[in-house]
């Protein structure tokens, strides 16, 4: 069965510091991978996704993620964090993706706090 692990429940960084949020998945074949961000009391917004091709993907708001098959990881990075990045971040995996039903498995999330 597919699963997603986000090892860090809470992370605190200083504004301007670099950020890396970890995501490990369990799936036999090539997965479809996603990172979503959620502000308090709001829905989820897609930051970036990996379906195939270049293993380093660029997303919105200056985020990037790297797919490493050998490590079953899809870590999210940002070189310089802004106070507005404080939110909860979710990694998700799917075995396929189409216009019909798509079964996404979500991690438990990582809550990011940013110190001024």
Partner 1 sequence: DGGITQSPKYLFRKEGQNVTLSCEQNLNHDAMYWYRQDPGQGLRLIYYSQIVNDFQKGDIAEGYSVSREKKESFPLTVTSAQKNPTAFYLCASSSTTELFFGSGTQLSVL
- Nearest-approach distance from CB 59 to partner 1, in angstroms: 12
23 binds partner 1 (CB under 8 A): no
One of 61, 82, 103, 115 touching partner 1 (CB under 8 A): 103
Give the number of residues in contact with partner 1, rule: CB under 8 A.
25
Q: State the Cα–Cα distance between residues 48 and 67, nearest whole angstrom.
A: 12
- The residue among 95, 101, 106, 94 whose CA lies nearest residue 37 is 106
- CB-based contact 110:8 (threshold 8 Å): yes
Stretch binding partner 1 (CB under 8 A), from 12-20, 22-30, 36-44, 65-73: 36-44
């Amino acid at each position: 069965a597919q699963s997603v692990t986000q090892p860090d429940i809470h992370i605190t960084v200083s504004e301007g510091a670099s950020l890396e949020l970890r995501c490990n998945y369990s799936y036999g074949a090539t997965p479809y991978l996603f990172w979503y961000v959620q502000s308090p009391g709001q829905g989820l917004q897609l930051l970036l996704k990996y379906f195939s091709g270049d293993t380093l993907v660029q997303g919105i708001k200056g985020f990037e993620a790297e797919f490493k098959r050998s490590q079953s990881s899809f870590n999210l990075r940002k070189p310089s964090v802004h106070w507005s990045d404080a939110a909860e971040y979710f990694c998700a995996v799917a075995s396929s993706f189409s216009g019909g039903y798509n079964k996404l498995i979500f991690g438990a999330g990582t809550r990011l706090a940013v110190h001024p």
